[in-house]
Structure 1
């Protein structure tokens, strides 16, 4: 009994230290985003700033950049794209896990090949433009919409563990594949579906490549691309100031803007994760079939 208490105490201390080690970098990023640029140049990154400043957030939130519109664009493409991608991946995983499907192993090999070989950017761009996606919001959704084969195999392998007796009992009662997929397999596969939802959501939220390749309209810029563009412009102005005598003494908050950008972009993901965390559990199938 005393050994167990000692182990639990040491385990709690270890987890606390690991949690602090994970929290400190995030806290440092937050504090630097509120630090005056001149103080950063003098002292570097500090957990407690020498001089507080809201210049970075004023530039991002109150400047001429359409940040709020880009936020809405990112939210729309993340929600819509993730929902459709999870649906497609779930249905494909159910199909490949069905024992009555002929050539399911051949289809699995076909999807596996796409994980190993990549066709490149040129075919991707030609197909995207050929579908008329350029300068539309679908250009930010459809090119990333086709399910990731890795996520597909995660779902398929999880669904293959579901007892076949559930499927057989449902078919005896006259249920079709749609009923079995949405009323039996999907509810029992919530942990893996929540996992790929997080994967797809992060992928859509952080995606800026589609905007570079397929979008020229500023009204359709997602958040990541807009902030990337803003940081590039600040870096360009700083480079011009250092190489040319422009008579400008203002100090642009380049470092604090980078940190503020990180805070603004990771916020929704940090808030989104707790809603999925409850599904990361084991033993969901216990008792689903009575022997």
Structure 2
């Protein structure tokens, strides 16, 4: 009994230390974004700001209309991309989990093959711009990520194969249900834990995506929040490196160090704010799914 309590205390201590290690960088990030620029240069980054300053956030929110529009675009591609991604993932994974599917092994290998090899950046760019004409469209921020879900498909297929009882599917057949009814009313409700996990990963990948916007978007009105903040940071760096003598005082007043940190905070804060609500759904999904009789 005593040894068991020691073990539990050790596990709790390790988990607490891991939690602190995970939270500490974000606290440092917020602190640096609220620190006066000269204090960062003089004292470096600290856990608590040496001199409080909101200059970085004032600089960013002077362009609030651009930021709000980019937030809207990012929210749209995240919601739509996650929903479509989950739909495609389950529609491909469920048939692959059924033993009655013809060429099941070949199709599974084809999905796995996409994890090992791809056509490269140039062919991808040519396909989406010259063949599908997606350049400077909102869909160029959604569709490319939909075609890189091989890992999620295999993960979901494994869940369907191991966690969906065959007796449930067979009883549904006996009751006269077709494949669509089984998929919509039996398989998806039982797969809520896996859907919540994959949905969270898709949501994070869409929210943090900046590469597709970099290569497919030239229209500033279609910038996601990551692309906009990256562009703002690049503009500040360019001005500091190439400013004329008369502009040096103005450009040097821009708090570049704290602006970097404020950009990171603005980019990640919505995910942190919405994650607890998603976590509730995820925890609820863990309690659903069992053979009832």
Question: Is 1:210 aligned to residue 215 of structure 2?
Answer: no
Q: Equivalents in 2 of 1:15, 1:216: separation in Å?
A: 45
Question: Does the aligned pair in 1 maintain the 2:136–2:218 contact within 8 Å?
Answer: yes
Decide which structure has greater helix share.
Answer: 2
Equivalent position of 1:288 in the other structure: 291
Question: Is 1:163 aligned to residue 165 of structure 2?
Answer: yes
Unmatched tracts of structure 2, length 5 or more? none
- SS of the counterpart of 2:155? helix
Question: Is 1:229 aligned to residue 231 of structure 2?
Answer: yes
Question: Does the aligned pair in 1 maintain the 2:192–2:286 contact within 8 Å?
Answer: no
Structure-to-structure mapping, 1:116-265, within 5 angstroms = 116-129=116-129, 130-161=131-162, 162-241=164-243, 245-246=245-246, 248-249=248-249, 250-265=252-267
Question: Does the aligned pair in 2 maintain the 1:34–1:52 contact within 8 Å?
Answer: yes
Q: TM-score, normalised by structure 1?
A: 0.92
- Give the drift of 1:259: 0.8
Greater displacement, 56-65 / 144-153: 56-65
- Alpha-carbon RMSD across the aligned residues, in angstroms, is 1.9
Equivalent position of 1:108 in the other structure: 108
Unmatched tracts of structure 1, length 5 or more? none
- Give the drift of 1:14: 2.8
- SS of the counterpart of 1:115? helix
Question: Does the aligned pair in 2 maintain the 1:163–1:289 contact within 8 Å?
Answer: no
- SS of the counterpart of 2:248? coil
- Give the drift of 1:230: 0.9
CA pair 26-145 structure 1, distance change in 2 beyond 3 A: same
- Give the drift of 1:246: 4.2
- Give the drift of 1:272: 3.0
Equivalent position of 2:24 in the other structure: 24
Question: Does the aligned pair in 2 maintain the 1:38–1:251 contact within 8 Å?
Answer: no
In the alignment of these two chains, the number of paired residues is 287
- SS of the counterpart of 1:100? coil
CA pair 223-181 structure 1, distance change in 2 beyond 3 A: same
